[in-house]
A and B are shown apart, each in its own frame.
Chain A
Amino acid sequence: MNPAGLPEQARRAWAIAKKDIRLYYAKKSVLIFGVLMPVFLFLAFFVGSNQLPLSFLLPGLVGVTLLFTATALSPAILAWEGRHGNLERLVSCPVSIEAIVMGDMVASILFGIGITILTVFIGLAFGLSLLHGMTMIVSILLGSCCFSAIGMLLAVPPTNEPSTPMTLSLLIKFPLIFISGVFVPLDQLPSWGLAFSACSPLTYFTDLVRYSFTGKNYFPVIVDVAILAVLTLVFSAGSMYLHKRTMPKRI
Chain B
Amino acid sequence: MYTIQADHLTKSFGPVTAVNDVSLAVREGEIFGFLGPNGAGKTTTTRILTGVIPLDAGSAAVLGHDISTEAVQAKQGFGVVPEISNAYTDLTAWQNLMLMGELYGLARAQASRRASDLLTMLGLLERREEKVQAYSKGMKQRLILAMALLPEPELLFLDEPTSGLDVQSSQMILDMLRDMNRDGTTIFLTTHNMEEANRLCHRVAIIRNGRLIAVDAPEKLKMAIESVHRIEVSFSREIAGDALAALQGVTGVKRIGDKWQLTAEKQDTVIQSLAAFGRENHTAIVTLNTLAPSLDDAFLRLTQEVSP
Q: Which residues of A contact B (CB under 8 A)?
A: 1, 3-4, 8-9, 11-12, 14-16, 18-19, 22-23, 84-86, 88-96, 248, 251
A23, B82: Cβ atoms closer than 8 Å:
no
Looking at B30-38, B89-97, B175-183, the stretch in contact with chain A turns out to be B89-97
Interface contacts (Cβ under 8 Å), in number, total 79
B103, A12: Cβ atoms closer than 8 Å:
yes
A93, B105: Cβ atoms closer than 8 Å:
no
- The answer to whether the Cβ of B51 comes within 8 Å of any Cβ in the partner chain is yes
- Write out, one digit per residue, whether chain B residues 243-263 have a CB within 8 A of any chain A CB (1) or not (0): 000000000000000000000
A92, B73: Cβ atoms closer than 8 Å:
no
Which of A1, A14, A18, A94 counts the most B-chain CB atoms under 10 A from its CB? A94
Q: Is the interface of A mostly helix, strand, loop or mixed?
A: helix
B88, A91: Cβ atoms closer than 8 Å:
no
A90 and B91 contact, Cβ closer than 8 Å, known pairs A4-B73, A248-B53, A248-B54: no
The interface residues of chain B lying within 8 Å CB-to-CB of A90 are 103
A3, B73: Cβ atoms closer than 8 Å:
yes
The interface residues of chain B lying within 8 Å CB-to-CB of A8 are 105
- The answer to whether the Cβ of B86 comes within 8 Å of any Cβ in the partner chain is yes
B51, A95: Cβ atoms closer than 8 Å:
no
Closest to B72 in A: A4
Closest-CB distance, B83 to chain A (whole angstroms):
9
- A-contacting residues, B70-108, CB 8 Å: 70-73, 75-76, 80, 82, 84-91, 95, 99-100, 102-105
Q: Is the interface of B mostly helix, strand, loop or mixed?
A: loop
Residue A91 contacts which of B51, B70, B91, B147 (CB distance < 8 angstroms)? B51
Which of B53, B54, B104, B105 counts the most A-chain CB atoms under 10 A from its CB? B105
Closest-CB distance, A95 to chain B (whole angstroms):
6
Closest-CB distance, A34 to chain B (whole angstroms):
19
B52, A11: Cβ atoms closer than 8 Å:
no
Closest to A12 in B: B103
Closest-CB distance, A5 to chain B (whole angstroms):
9
Closest-CB distance, A11 to chain B (whole angstroms):
7
The interface residues of chain B lying within 8 Å CB-to-CB of A14 are 102
- The answer to whether the Cβ of B27 comes within 8 Å of any Cβ in the partner chain is no
A-B contact pairs, 12 of them (CB 8 A): A3-B72, A3-B75, A9-B72, A19-B99, A23-B90, A86-B86, A89-B86, A89-B87, A92-B50, A92-B52, A92-B80, A251-B53
The interface residues of chain A lying within 8 Å CB-to-CB of B88 are 19, 23, 86
A251, B75: Cβ atoms closer than 8 Å:
no
